Amino acid sequence: MNFKPAKVVWAGMPGSACNLNCKYCYSGSAKGERGKFRFPLEHMLRSFAPDRFGGPIFFGGAAAGETLLVEGIVDFTRGMLELGHVVSYTTNMTYSPVIDEFCKFPDAMKKRLQLDASLHYLELKEVGKLNTYFDNLRKLKDEGISIALFLCITEEYLPHLNEIHDLCMQRIGLLPVAGMTRVYSSAGGKNSGSLLPEYEELVMKFCDHRQWDLQKKVYGQKRNEFCRAGEVSINLSLETGEYTKCWGSSGRMALWEQLPFSGALRSIRRLPGIGRVAKRIIPLKSQVMGNLYDLEQPIDFKPMGQCPFYDCVCASYLCWGLIPGFDAPTHSRTYFQPEYVSKEIFEFMDCHLVSK
């Protein structure tokens, strides 16, 4: 049987505390608060019952700080895996107590758990945690938990890409997946660095550049096709249970957005100067579609249609085929090396949810 997700859920995990303090951190996480769940675990897990989604889901969670610091994450993860879902977290890979607990899960559950390890190389070097990072990766791999390495390409890393490449190959045999840096506002994300040819050359030489190639194609391009985000995927606040069709500020349309000339109004909102006035007169409506924790209501899966952002907020969303006909490799083929993920994980994420 083909093991394929019924839906994709991208979840913002509660809290913004971090055990590292990277200089470029946009959330100033070292001073943040450790995340807690607002709802009882049992209720949260009932809300994730597979029949509400039509089957098992891909659950991708990331906090504004270190994800594995969220209180109760081990029990939540165990519960999600017991329900048959696939769980993936973004982590700085240095919070060993939670990683050790994950390693104690039964094998059948470990096969459906995957961790994206962001490599904050200079910070790890400064605080002496490079060994912790690689030891944890090795531990997870040996235990059959799937891993991928990620490196955000900032200017300060450029002189070190060569040594990062050598270290990763030596310690784990896996290259970091290069990613562009982005800044976000309510209108979407924009690349924060410029694509200088010297960046390009170094990334091609020293990193796994499959994601980079996709991001070059996606970022900075307005999407005008019909997008199925909201129908096959949702963005969720795990703390409150509120969900939107895509990313933070998209969901139910304002009345004006349903009018035949809404495209023209949207263009006016994007114009410099007059756009600011237009945004006040024709605002987007509050965008929450519903609350996952309201068990009385079915989850409201409706397609976004016209993307409201500058460009696709996150290139990886398109790996799930949200825009039928848009040529993007699957998640597995953009991020994974088959020897570092379980067969189940590779197969689950090697699909487009919407066929062309």
Contacting residues toward ligand SF4, per CB under 6 A: 18, 20-22, 25, 27, 29, 65-66, 92, 120, 223, 227, 229, 246-247, 304, 307, 309, 312-313, 317, 322
For the bound state, the minimum distance from the C-beta of residue 89 to ligand SF4, rounded and expressed in Å, comes to 13
Helix, strand, coil content of the chain in percent (nearest 5): 40, 15, 45
For the bound state, the minimum distance from the C-beta of residue 11 to ligand SF4, rounded and expressed in Å, comes to 15
Q: Which is nearer to ligand SF4, 25 or 83 (CB)?
A: 25
Q: Which is nearer to ligand SF4, 29 or 237 (CB)?
A: 29
For the bound state, the minimum distance from the C-beta of residue 353 to ligand SF4, rounded and expressed in Å, comes to 12
For the bound state, the minimum distance from the C-beta of residue 296 to ligand SF4, rounded and expressed in Å, comes to 28
The DSSP secondary-structure symbol of 197 reads H
The DSSP secondary-structure symbol of 153 reads -
SS3 167: helix
Q: Please tell me the distance from the alpha carbon of residue 258 to that of residue 151, in angstroms, as a whole number.
A: 41
Q: Please tell me the distance from the alpha carbon of residue 333 to that of residue 177, in angstroms, as a whole number.
A: 12
For the bound state, the minimum distance from the C-beta of residue 37 to ligand SF4, rounded and expressed in Å, comes to 19
Task: With both helix axes pointing from N to C terminus, report the angle between 262-270 and 274-281 in degrees, rounded to the nearest 10.
Answer: 130
Q: Which is nearer to ligand SF4, 16 or 114 (CB)?
A: 16
Query: Tokens for 352?
Result: 């487009």
Q: Which is nearer to ligand SF4, 81 or 117 (CB)?
A: 117
- Dmax (CA) for the chain in angstroms is 59
For the bound state, the minimum distance from the C-beta of residue 174 to ligand SF4, rounded and expressed in Å, comes to 19
For the bound state, the minimum distance from the C-beta of residue 348 to ligand SF4, rounded and expressed in Å, comes to 19
The residue whose two tokens read 């997700």 is 5
- The DSSP-derived string for 285-352 is PP---EETT-TTS-------EE--SSS-S-GGGGGGTSSTT-----HHHHH--GGGS-HHHHHHTSS-
In DSSP terms, 57 is beta-bridged to: 7
Q: Please tell me the distance from the alpha carbon of residue 114 to that of residue 347, in angstroms, as a whole number.
A: 13
Q: Which is nearer to ligand SF4, 81 or 322 (CB)?
A: 322
The DSSP secondary-structure symbol of 286 reads P
Q: Please tell me the distance from the alpha carbon of residue 207 to that of residue 280, in angstroms, as a whole number.
A: 44
User: CA angle at residue 319 from 317 to 324, to 5 degrees?
Assistant: 95
Q: Which is nearer to ligand SF4, 44 or 234 (CB)?
A: 234
